[in-house]
Amino acid sequence: MELAREIGGSLARRGIGVVYGGGRLGLMGAVAKGALDAGGEVIGIIPEALASSEVANHDCTELHTVSGMHERKQRFTDLSDGFVTIPGGVGTMDELWEAISWAQLGYHTSPVGLLNAFGFFDHLLAFNRHMAEVGFIRPAHQGIMIADETLDGLLEKMGRYQPHTPIFQMTAADL
């Protein structure tokens, strides 16, 4: 929780706004609180079902209620210049893989970062390398997932990100 608050505060001090799921609980609630406490912009996108269950963070700079998870993730993509993933569970993995998949296809050209704090994602990074080694991730798309152990290092790498050729722009020979 402490790291999550620190991340939010650090992003705000850099002038980087936070777009997230709109809840006040858990790690992402801590990121939002850290950003808000540091005077940052925080935009929450929360599905109706969660908003009505008293978990919505009404302290956000903006809080948008949407019909469901698909619309939520589309709004994330529309409003964000990049994606930073911190340790989390199934929902975090869903959002990470969707951001990577959408980048691969060409739905966005934003960097997708993975903060490997405390080595949390070591096995995921090894699995991602394995997928590349056996050919399930094309060479052109192997740089989509950007990882680092520190927020400073991750943001630096994300700032240097050069969009790849998306699948929609490849020829059959490239596939």
Cut 0.85: pTM above it: yes
Amino acid in the structure at residue 74: Q
Q: Is the CB of residue 66 less than 8 Å from the CB of residue 46? A: yes
Are the C-beta atoms of 39 and 47 separated by less than 8 Å? no
Residue 165 structure tokens: 């050729």
- Widest Cα–Cα separation across the chain: 52
Q: Which residues pair with 63 in a beta bridge?
A: 44
All CATH 3.40.50.450 domain ranges of the chain, comma separated, are 1-79, 81-157
CATH class for the domain made up of 1-79: alpha beta
Query: What class does CATH assign to 81-157?
Result: alpha beta
Q: Could you give the CA distance from residue 161 to residue 155 in angstroms, rounded to a whole number?
A: 10
Residue 158 CA to residue 45 CA, distance in Å, equals 23
pLDDT per residue, tens digit, the chain (175 aa), is 999 999 999 999 999 999 999 999 999 999 999 999 999 999 999 999 888 887 999 999 999 999 999 999 999 999 999 999 999 999 999 999 999 999 999 999 999 999 999 999 999 999 999 999 999 999 999 999 999 999 999 999 999 999 988 888 888 887 7
